[in-house]
Amino acid sequence: MRQAILDLEESRIREVANAGLGRGDVLPFWFGESDEPTPEAVRLAAIASLQAGETFYSHNLGLPELRQAVADCAGRLHGPLAAGRIAITSGGVNALMLAMQALLDAGDEVVVVTPVWPNLTAQPRILGARLRCVVLRPDANGAWALDLPALLAAITPGTRLLVVNSPNNPTGWTLARTEQQTILARCRETGTWILSDEVYERLYYAGDTASGAAPSFLDIAQPEDRLVVAQSFSKSFLVTGWRLGWLAMPPGMTPHMGKLLEFNTSCAPVFVQRAALVALARTEAITPRIVAHLRTCRDTLVPLLRAVPGVAACAAPGGMYAFFAHRRLR
């Protein structure tokens, strides 16, 4: 494990060096973060909580009222979701690592759809799992697509976990409902767990769902399915530095996740959870504005990229990145 962590660190150093970090002519556009601060009402809720002396531990799984609010909010998007299936975490990163720790042992096989945010391949490697990657492919216009038959073939009874990030960081590729149904059916056959990173679900521009959010496995799964969904408050509420996320899981898994939380962070800070309650209550005032802003950014940037000789770029249906292809001109 120690060598795996060292290898990961060396890889990250090479990535930064190759990106030219520190050069004055290189702009760091790769961070998944807005250019504006957290809304004032959310900040004031955290201040009020601190001034009220809420500086103590909460329940491992989070404040009951926040778990209920998360379940209610997710339920409006995807159908009924019991609060007993929700665990509050210290960020989406923590949510994903907790899920991996709960599901994986050393030597387990994990299938990951790539390219993807590096943590989603690093986390199982740190735990000693074996990775198999199924790669998205861009077409001539720069639109990314999944080779679904290849993914289904990669998922076997020996596959412990499938990791999917949709809308995807960094390509913006988003699973279609039919693809989700096919994948879920295959994983039911093989007994494979699905870990679905849906942090960008509200940053969705296709306009083809009733909720406005990207298709979610929660839309089609049963409570007892081997499905864990990881979410974050960061992107949809402008609270990246606050570190708050959540997990949805089968009800029988939740008590065990509470124990695992005890050995990781014990709990998320209460004042941050109080701020999240206000953010959720103001969802319709906050999130649509963020999505509209990002859509404008996307629709401004992509045509400019396309105008560059040798660049192929497509307006992604979700996420907050333009992941383009560059072909060397002769």
pLDDT band at 280 (very low <50, low <70, confident <90, very high): very high
Specify whether the CB–CB gap between 232 and 245 falls below 8 A. yes
Per DSSP, the three-state class of 113 is: strand
Rounded average pLDDT over 292-296: 94
**pLDDT higher than 60, residue 296:** yes
Q: Is pTM, for the whole model, over 0.85?
A: yes
Rounded average pLDDT over 34-57: 95
> How does pLDDT run across 183-198, given as a tens digit for each residue?
999 999 999 999 999 9
Specify whether the CB–CB gap between 65 and 281 falls below 8 A. no
pLDDT band at 30 (very low <50, low <70, confident <90, very high): low
- Closest Cα partner for 163 from 202, 117, 203, 128? 117
Comparing 7-11, 151-155, 223-227, the range with the smallest average pLDDT is 7-11
For the domain spanning 40-284, the CATH number is 3.40.640.10
**pLDDT higher than 90, residue 24:** no
- How far is Cα of residue 50 from the mean position of the Cα atoms in its chain? 29
pLDDT of residue 327: 76
pLDDT band at 26 (very low <50, low <70, confident <90, very high): low
> How does pLDDT run across 102-111, given as a tens digit for each residue?
999 999 999 9
Q: What is the mean pLDDT of the chain?
A: 91
pLDDT of residue 17: 47
pLDDT of residue 237: 93
- What's 310's DSSP letter? T
Specify whether the CB–CB gap between 329 and 309 falls below 8 A. yes
What sign results for the dihedral spanned by CA atoms 94, 96, 101, 103?
positive
pLDDT of residue 36: 84
